[in-house]
Amino acid sequence: MIFYTQPFENLIFKKYHGSEPQRRDMGGVMFHRPPPPDMNFDHDNRAPTRGAPTGDGTDGPANGPAVDFVSLVLFVVVWAVALATRISEQWRLSEKRVLLSEADKAQAELSFFKAQINPHFLFNTLNNIYSLAVSKSESTAPSILKLSKMMRYITEEATENFVPLEDEITCLENYVDLQKLRLNAKTKVDFKVNGSLINKQIAPLILMTFVENAFKYGVSNRFENLIEINVSITEKTILFFCKNTIFQTSVENERKGIGIANTRKRLDFLYLNRYELKINQQEKVFEVNLELQTES
């Protein structure tokens, strides 16, 4: 249709054209300007003469269909714009689906992680509190209160993507204090927090993964061991450091690797291009260095 109907030329230029073409440049556009209808030019004498019939019975030479490049270019441009618009729309829809899928996946992984930590930690802590109650220790009531606050935080407050850093640190402190109930004199815990926690936010239970692994795989009843946990807060960053000795088997380390892999996925989703995680394992020492960039 573009080549043979020539819609653009027929609609605009046809009434100015005749059957005999003569090229003329007007504004850079080449078009055909016809001679008078009943005259032909004598190109040798440069004088107009009456037209003579042609061999096919017409008054002038027959013209075949010409290419309307203007219409062709317009068609290609319109087609390209429409295609680009459609592709852009589909791309935006696909990107939206991916983001929603990643959000649902991260939320499901967080729920799975909370389901993992609750039974294991809860049973051990309740047993320790029971031992305190039997011995009528003064630490029984404070331990129950810490466990209650921690469970409330995990099951209720940690459902958001970001929580106050102060609440996250309080949860870590309660977790460490409750873990100390089962430790003997051979295990030392060095937990430090430096910097201001005011108006800072963090993804919930991001740090808990590494702290839980430190107590799960870095505690021994026979050997001297030290668990170091350090959180430093600056104006724009949260620096987390955790170090422990490894005493567990490789099978259990595989489970630890799954937890860290899930944490990496949550970091990629919640701190895209705003975090740096370095994990070093040399012989029997496991170190974690995590840097989070905060928005405030």
1 pLDDT band (50/70/90 cuts)?
low
Q: Which amino acid is at 181?
A: L
Q: How confident is the model at residue 192 (pLDDT cuts 50, 70, 90)?
A: very high
**Max alpha carbon distance in the chain (Å)?**
131
Q: What is the pLDDT of residue 288?
A: 95
Distance CA 281, CA 150 (A): 30
For position 15, what pLDDT does the model report?
52
Which of 196, 109, 92, 204 is closest to 156 using CA atoms? 204
Structure pTM? 0.61
CATH 3.30.565.10 describes domain 109-293: yes
Q: pLDDT tens digits for 7-35?
A: 555 555 555 555 444 444 444 445 445 55
* Secondary structure (H, E, C), the chain: CCCCCCHHHHHHCHHHCCCCCCEEEECCEEEECCCCCCEEEECCCCEEEECCCCCCCCCCCCCCCCCCHHHHHHHHHHHHHHHHHHHHHHHHHHHHHHHHHHHHHHHHHHHHHHHHHHHHHHHHHHHHHHHHHHCCCCCHHHHHHHHHHHHHHHHCHHHCCCEEHHHHHHHHHHHHHHHHHHCCCCEEEEEEEECCCCCCEECCCCCHHHHHHHHHHCCCCCCCEEEEEEEEECCCEEEEEEEEECCCCHHHHHHHHHHHHHHHHHHHHHCCCCEEEEEEEECCEEEEEEEEECCC
Structure tokens at 99: 């983001």
Per-residue pLDDT of 132-183, as tens digits, reads 889 888 889 999 999 899 888 887 877 788 999 999 999 999 999 988 888 8
**Domain range list for the chain:** 109-293
